[in-house]
Amino acid sequence: MKSNLKIVALAGGVGGAKLAHGLAQNLPPEDLTIIVNTGDDFEHYGLFICPDLDTVCYTLAGLANPETGWGRVNETWNVIGNASKLGGPSWFNLGDQDLGTHLERTRRLKEGRCLSEITIDFCKAWGIQCTVLPMSDAPVRTIVETEAGELAFQEYFVHRRCEPRVKGFRFDGADKAEAVQGAREALQSADAVVICPSNPWVSIDPILRVIPEIEKPVFAVSPIIGGETVKGPAAKMYRELGIEPSALAVANHYRDLATGFVLDQVDKQLQGEIMGLNMQTLVTNTLMRSHDDRVRLAHEVLGFIGNNLCELKELEEVLVVSRDPAVLTIARNYGARTVREDGQPELNTALKRATVVAQVYATRGVLVLPADLPLISRDDVLTLIERAEEPPVVVIAPDRHEKGTNALLIAPSGLIEYDFGVNSFQRHCARVKEVGARLEIVNLPSLGLDLDLPEDLELVRKLELSKTA
pLDDT in tens, 312-334: 455 667 788 888 887 777 677 65
Which pLDDT value is given to residue 367? Answer: 93
Instruction: Give DSSP secondary structure letters for 170-210.
Output: EEETTTT--BPTTHHHHHHH-SEEEE-SS-IIIIIHHHHHH
Which pLDDT value is given to residue 24? Answer: 97
pLDDT over 50 at 211, yes or no? yes
Q: For the residues 332-341, what does the mean pLDDT come to?
A: 73
> Which residue range is the domain that position 385 belongs to?
363-448
Question: What single letter denotes the amino acid at residue 386?
Answer: E
| Kind and range of the H or E run holding 347 | helix 347-361
pLDDT over 60 at 391, yes or no? yes
Which pLDDT value is given to residue 312? Answer: 47
67-71, 201-205, 306-310: lowest mean pLDDT where? 306-310
Q: For the residues 171-196, what does the mean pLDDT come to?
A: 94
108 and 205 inside one domain: yes
Quickly state the pLDDT bin for 468 (edges 50, 70, 90).
Answer: very low
Partner residues linked to 225 by β-bridges = 228
Using omega within 30 degrees of 0 as the cis cutoff, is the peptide bond preceding 412 cis?
yes
Quickly state the pLDDT bin for 311 (edges 50, 70, 90).
Answer: low
The Cα 110–Cα 112 span in angstroms is 5
Q: Which residues contact 386 (CB under 8 A, 6 or more apart)?
A: none
> Residue 131 is part of a domain; what is its CATH number?
3.40.50.10680
Which pLDDT value is given to residue 380? Answer: 85
Summarize pLDDT for 72-86 with one digit per residue, the tens: 999 999 999 999 999
pLDDT over 50 at 128, yes or no? yes
Q: For the residues 354-369, what does the mean pLDDT come to?
A: 80
289 and 374 inside one domain: no
pLDDT over 90 at 359, yes or no? no
How buried is 96 (Cβ within 10 angstroms: 0-12 exposed, 13-18 middle, 19+ buried)?
middle
Which pLDDT value is given to residue 290? Answer: 95
82 and 225 inside one domain: yes
285 and 432 inside one domain: no
265 and 384 inside one domain: no
Q: For the residues 13-36, what does the mean pLDDT come to?
A: 96
Which pLDDT value is given to residue 1? Answer: 44
- 351 three-state secondary structure: helix
pLDDT over 60 at 116, yes or no? yes
Q: For the residues 249-269, what does the mean pLDDT come to?
A: 95
297 and 439 inside one domain: no
| Among 290, 277, 291, residue whose Cα is nearest residue 248 | 277
370 and 437 inside one domain: yes
Instruction: Give domain status of residue 92, yes or no.
Output: yes
Q: Which of 267, 295, 311 is the last residue of a domain?
A: 311
Q: For the residues 334-357, what does the mean pLDDT come to?
A: 79
CB 186 within 8 A of CB 220: no
| Kind and range of the H or E run holding 273 | helix 271-275
| Mean pLDDT value across the chain | 91
Question: What single letter denotes the amino acid at residue 407?
Answer: A
Give pairs for 209-212: CB < 8 Å, separation 24+: 209/140, 209/171, 209/174, 210/135, 210/136, 210/140, 210/174, 210/177, 210/178, 210/179, 211/10, 211/35, 211/135, 211/179, 211/183, 211/184, 211/187, 212/179, 212/183, 212/184, 212/187
| Residue 69: φ, ψ to 5° | 90, -15
Instruction: Give domain status of residue 343, yes or no.
Output: no
Helix%, strand%, coil% for the chain, nearest 5: 45, 20, 40
Domain count for the chain: 2
pLDDT over 50 at 168, yes or no? yes
Q: What is the number of residues in the chain?
A: 469
Give pairs for 427-435: CB < 8 Å, separation 24+: 428/394, 428/396, 429/396, 431/394, 432/394, 432/396, 435/392
Quickly state the pLDDT bin for 442 (edges 50, 70, 90).
Answer: very high
Q: Which residue has the higher pLDDT, 96 or 464?
A: 96
Instruction: Give domain status of residue 123, yes or no.
Output: yes
> Residue 400 is part of a domain; what is its CATH number?
3.90.550.10
13-27, 64-78, 248-262, 315-329: lowest mean pLDDT where? 315-329
